[in-house]
Amino acid sequence: MTVNPKDYLEMGQKFHGHKCPAMPSGLRVGAAAMNKLGVERAKDGQLLAILELGEDHCATCFADGVQVITGCTFGKGNIKKLHYGKWGVTLVDKKTGRAVRVTPTAEAMLGNKKSEFFTKYRMLGIPASEVPDAVVDPLIVKVMDAPAEMILKISEVFQYELHSKKDSFAGFVCDICGEMVVEGYGRPLGDKHVCQDCYNKA
Ligand SMILES: [Zn+2]
Ligand SMILES: [Zn+2]
C-alpha cells in the first residue's frame, strides 16, 4: 500500500491556510520517505520526522506538508527541527529504527524560484493567500505531478539510533502559579516545587 500525496493536498491546504508550492513539496517529500520505508501515517508516535529547517521563510510552509502527510506533528511532539536551513527530512520508523532521508533537489527548488509566483508576487512581499489561482495552481500541479526522480533525492534506508524515552503521564502542581507541570520540568525554590516560568520570575 503506497501513500499518494494527492490524497492529502486538499487537507494540507486547509490546514496550512493558503495555496503555495512549498507545502505540496513537503507532501511529496513525506510520501517518498513513507513509501521508501513502507510505513503508514503515524496514528500515534510511530514515526519521527527530523527536519533540517529553521523558522525562516518557506520553512513553515514545507514543514506543514510534512506534518500533514506523515502524521508527525508539533502536537504529538514527533517532529523536530535541526535549524540547518536545509530542506532534508529524515523519517524514522521508531519500532525498527529504519530511516530514510529525502530532500527536494536544488534544481527543482531553483526552478520554482523562477516562477511568477515568486518573481512577481512573493519576492515583492505579496502574501501567498493573495496570489491569483491562475498563477499558483500550475505551479502546484507541477510539484504534485513531477516524477519523484526529477524533484527528489531519496537516500537508501539506514539505521537511526533512537534514544527511547517512555511516555510519562506524571506531573505536579506549581506551588506558585498553581498550574499543572510535566514531571521533570520543575525546579526547587526554597522549600517550594515550582515551574520554570515562576522560577525565572522569582
Ligand atoms: Zn505556504
Ligand atoms: Zn508556576
Q: Please name the helix (run of DSSP H) or strand (run of DSSP E) that holds residue 62, with its range, or none.
A: helix 59-70
Residue 191 Cα to ligand 2 midpoint, Å, equals: 14
Structure confidence at residue 183 (pLDDT): 87
Ligand nearest to the CA of 22: 1
Bridge partners of residue 34, in order along the sequence: none
Structure confidence at residue 56 (pLDDT): 74
Q: Which pairs with CB-CB distance under 8 Å and at least 24 residues apart come from 144-150?
A: 144/5, 144/6, 144/9, 144/24, 144/27, 144/28, 146/28, 146/108, 148/28, 148/32, 150/105, 150/108
Which residue's entry shows cell 523562477? 114
Structure confidence at residue 85 (pLDDT): 86
Residue 202 Cα to ligand 2 midpoint, Å, equals: 10
Structure confidence at residue 164 (pLDDT): 66
What is the value of pTM for the model shown? 0.87
Structure confidence at residue 97 (pLDDT): 94
Nearest to 58 by CA among 66, 69, 50, 70: 66
Residue 104 Cα to ligand 1 midpoint, Å, equals: 16
Domains of the chain with CATH codes: 5-159 (3.30.1330.130), 171-201 (3.30.60)
Residue 178 Cα to ligand 2 midpoint, Å, equals: 6
Residues 6+ apart with CB under 8 A from 95: 46
Residue 95 Cα to ligand 1 midpoint, Å, equals: 32
Residue 184 Cα to ligand 2 midpoint, Å, equals: 14
Residue 169 Cα to ligand 1 midpoint, Å, equals: 35
| Residues in the chain where the model's pLDDT stays below 50 | none
CB atoms within 10 A of CB 125: 6
Ligand nearest to the CA of 187: 2
Residue 183 Cα to ligand 2 midpoint, Å, equals: 13
Residue 192 Cα to ligand 2 midpoint, Å, equals: 10
Residue 119 Cα to ligand 2 midpoint, Å, equals: 48
Residue 30 Cα to ligand 2 midpoint, Å, equals: 38
Half-sphere exposure (CA, 13 Å, Cβ side) for 156?
2
Ligand nearest to the CA of 26: 1
Instruction: Return d(Cα 58, Cα 112) in angstroms, integer.
Output: 12
Ligand nearest to the CA of 139: 1
Q: State the burial class of residue 54 (Cβ atoms within 10 Å of its Cβ: 0-12, 13-18, 19+).
A: middle
Q: Is the distance from CB of 48 to CB of 98 less than 8 angstroms?
A: no
